[in-house]
């Protein structure tokens, strides 16, 4: 069996950097307008600017009394109450100026009148008639957010390329954007390979395996802002495999699973080689997922002209497929979706029991983070290796073991990737 060119096995860091470099050069997708609620989970294609200061007026953060801090430097102080200001109060009902010796009753979210520079919480006051006793001093600025302190009129509230979450949607709403421009979702072809793989509607024979990878990938693709296109299962037979790979190369990105290891029937690289694909790496020093392949294929007559299509060959073991998608395919997909480049976000967690591994691979092992507050700790899920999707389904994170790590003691802090 001809071997697909010289293998290029990179460290995790170099492999990730390679993907990031290619991702930084992909073209922006098309733009479409959508209603604000439909924009959740989409990627913003235009910056959203503040159409007014945030807050638009000096906002009281408490129910209490708007005062001049200097007037209450010594307590108990007694002040004249010259008005009551509720949230949304019209301008003519708000005292024009709070002079020395005066106060105004004020509610949370109401505008602090000129002259006042702080709000005393109602809990530290006692009003009798038009006089209020102030029992506690405040610093200038206390319990008041100045106009424009959160954002200045005209400044960018949400940058282009942001994956819109609840807070970003709230900002767009604050700026009065009932419709926003988002990027079109890239189409991501998913091609599962293997003679033993059967569709989930079929009754598997005794040695056959149902196709789960296309489904985990479809979910991951959606989460990363793409539109999965599931292709038929490819057999380990070069001609049929080639036809399906050519089909997949018509999408914006092609993800293949299985057929990239060193086995006699691992034909994916061979077929891509025939299609004059360029390979950027054919392995990474990680576990799970060592045989992961990344490249670009532009030579196929049916691939999109000139630009070529990036592809990943993800190892077929279900956990390897999931992990290598997150580590390598996701940044490329996010770039194709118009998203600004993201670094992986790690957290540190306290290890519940010692981990011993052979050095040489950077490992991303399924683990459970549990316990609240100071009792939070992480522990590996016992598993049967990278085919054990049942164990991985019980995990809520991956423990990241450095390439040179061999023994990490209980109680030590270790990097984790949340999943």
Site residues, ligand AMP (CB under 6 A): 192, 194, 196-197, 209, 211-214, 257-259, 261, 263, 266, 315-318, 387
| Closer residue to ligand AMP (CB): 251 or 386 | 386
Q: Given the complex with Mg ion, which of 259 and 288 has the nearer CB atom?
A: 259
CB of 162 to ligand AMP, least distance (A): 33
Indicate the residue whose CB is closest to Mg ion.
194
- Judged by beta carbon distances under 5 to 8 A according to partner kind, the member of ligand AMP, Mg ion, none in contact with residue 315 is ligand AMP
- How far apart are the C-alpha atoms of 314 and 175, rounded to whole Å? 42
Q: Which is nearer to ligand AMP, 58 or 259 (CB)?
A: 259
Q: Which does 235 bind (CB under 5 to 8 A by kind): Mg ion, ligand AMP, none?
A: none
Nearer Cβ to Mg ion (58/258) = 258
| Smallest distance from ligand AMP to CB 251, Å | 18
Q: Is 20 helix (H, G, I), strand (E, B) or coil?
A: helix
Of the two residues 282 and 317, which places its CB atom closer to ligand AMP in the complex? Answer: 317
Q: Which helix (H) or strand (E) holds 197?
A: strand 197-198
Q: Which is nearer to ligand AMP, 263 or 411 (CB)?
A: 263
Look at residue 192 and give the partner it binds from ligand AMP, Mg ion, none, a contact being a CB closer than 5 to 8 Å depending on partner kind: ligand AMP
Q: How far is the CB of 173 from ligand AMP (least distance, A)?
A: 41
Q: Which residue is nearest to ligand AMP (CB)?
A: 316
Q: How far is CA 128 from the centre of its chain?
A: 54
Q: Does 315 contact Mg ion by CB under 5 A?
A: no
Strands, E, within 231-350: which ranges?
253-257, 278-281, 283-284, 286-287, 293-297, 309-314, 346-350
For residue 181, CA distances in Å to 35, 184, 305, 338 come to 9, 10, 27, 12
* Residue 125 interface partner, choices Mg ion, ligand AMP, none, CB cut-off 5-8 Å depending on type: none
Q: How far is the CB of 199 from ligand AMP (least distance, A)?
A: 10
Q: State which of residues 258, 295, 313, 338 lies at the interface with Mg ion (CB under 5 A).
A: 258
Is residue 19 within 8 Å of residue 331, measured between CB atoms? yes
C-alpha to C-alpha distance for 223 and 230, rounded to whole angstroms: 16
Give the nearer residue to ligand AMP in terms of CB position, either 75 or 209. 209
Question: Which of 192, 184, 180 shows the shortest CA–CA distance to 226?
Answer: 184
Binders of Mg ion among residues 75 to 114 (CB under 5 A) are none
- Which partner from the list Mg ion, ligand AMP, none does 257 bind, CB cut-off 5 to 8 Å by kind? ligand AMP
Q: How far is the CB of 188 from Mg ion (least distance, A)?
A: 21
State the nearest-atom distance from the C-beta of 316 to Mg ion, in Å. Answer: 5
- Least distance in Å: CB of 193 to Mg ion? 6
Region 112-141 residues binding Mg ion, contact defined as CB under 5 A: none
Among ligand AMP, Mg ion, none, what does residue 338 contact (CB within 5–8 Å per kind)?
none
The closest of 346, 326, 322, 328 to 414, measured between CA atoms, is: 346
Nearest to 118 by CA among 141, 99, 95: 141
CB 384, min distance to ligand AMP, A: 11
Cβ closer to ligand AMP: 186 or 288?
A: 288
Report d(CA 407, CA 356) in Å as an integer.
4
Q: How many CB atoms lie within 10 A of CB 145?
A: 16
Q: Is 158 helix (H, G, I), strand (E, B) or coil?
A: strand
In the list 95, 111, 161, 194, the residue contacting Mg ion (rule: CB under 5 A) is: 194
For 325, the token pair is: 């998608």
- The Cα 211–Cα 192 span in angstroms is 8
Closest approach, Cβ 10 to ligand AMP, in A, equals 19
214 vs 252 by CB, closer to ligand AMP: 214
Report whether 229 contacts 333 (CB < 8 A).
no
Q: Give the nearer residue to ligand AMP in terms of CB position, either 123 or 237.
A: 237
- Least distance in angstroms from the C-beta of 295 to ligand AMP: 17
**DSSP 8-state symbol, 403:** T
The rounded distance, in Å, linking the Cα atoms of 379 and 312 is 30
Residues 392, 366 contacting (CB under 8 angstroms): yes
102 binds, among Mg ion, ligand AMP, none (CB under 5 to 8 A by kind): none
Cα separation, 147 vs 135, in Å, equals 27
| 182: β partners | 32, 44
Which 8-state DSSP code applies to residue 209? Answer: E
Judge contact between 322 and 292, C-beta under 8 A: no
Residues forming the site for Mg ion (CB under 5 A): 194, 258-259, 316
């Amino acid at each position: 069996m001809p071997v697909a060119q010289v293998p290029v096995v990179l460290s995790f860091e170099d492999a990730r950097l390679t993907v990031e470099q290619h991702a930084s050069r992909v073209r922006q997708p098309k733009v479409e307008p959508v209603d604000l609620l439909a924009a959740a989970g989409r990627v913003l294609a235009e910056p959203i600017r503040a159409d007014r200061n945030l807050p638009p007026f000096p906002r009281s953060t408490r129910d209490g009394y708007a005062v001049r801090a200097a007037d209450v430097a010594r307590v108990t102080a007694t002040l004249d109450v010259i008005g009551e200001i509720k949230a949304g109060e019209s301008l003519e009902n708000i005292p024009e100026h709070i002079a020395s010796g005066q106060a105004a009753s004020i509610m949370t979210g109401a505008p602090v009148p000129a002259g006042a520079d702080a709000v005393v919480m109602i809990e530290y006051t006692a009003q009798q008639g038009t006089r209020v006793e102030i029992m506690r001093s405040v610093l200038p600025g206390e319990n008041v957010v100045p106009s424009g302190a959160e954002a200045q009129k005209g400044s960018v509230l949400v940058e282009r390329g942001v994956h819109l979450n609840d807070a970003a949607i709230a900002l767009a709403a604050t700026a009065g954007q009932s419709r926003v421009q988002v990027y079109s979702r890239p189409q991501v072809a998913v091609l599962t390979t293997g003679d033993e793989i059967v569709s989930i509607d079929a009754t598997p024979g005794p040695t056959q395996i149902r196709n789960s990878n296309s489904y985990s990938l479809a979910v991951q693709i959606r989460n990363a802002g793409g539109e999965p296109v599931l292709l038929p299962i490819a057999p380990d037979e070069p001609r049929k495999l080639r036809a399906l790979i050519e089909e997949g190369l018509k999408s914006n990105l092609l993800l293949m699973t299985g057929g990239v290891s060193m086995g006699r029937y691992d034909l994916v690289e061979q077929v891509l080689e025939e299609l004059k694909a360029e390979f950027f790496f054919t392995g990474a020093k990680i576990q799970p997922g060592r045989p992961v392949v990344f490249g670009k294929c532009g030579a196929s007559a049916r691939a999109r002209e000139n630009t070529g299509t990036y592809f990943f060959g993800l190892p077929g073991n279900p956990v390897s497929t999931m992990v290598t998608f997150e580590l390598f395919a996701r940044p490329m997909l996010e770039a194709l979706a118009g998203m600004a480049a993201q670094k992986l976000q790690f957290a540190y967690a306290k290890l519940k029991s010692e981990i011993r591994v052979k050095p040489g691979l950077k490992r991303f092992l399924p683990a459970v983070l549990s316990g609240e507050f100071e009792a939070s700790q992480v522990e590996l899920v016992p598993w049967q290796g990278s085919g054990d999707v049942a164990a991985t389904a019980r995990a809520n994170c991956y423990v990241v073991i450095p390439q040179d790590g061999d023994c990490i003691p209980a109680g030590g802090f270790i990097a984790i990737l949340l999943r």
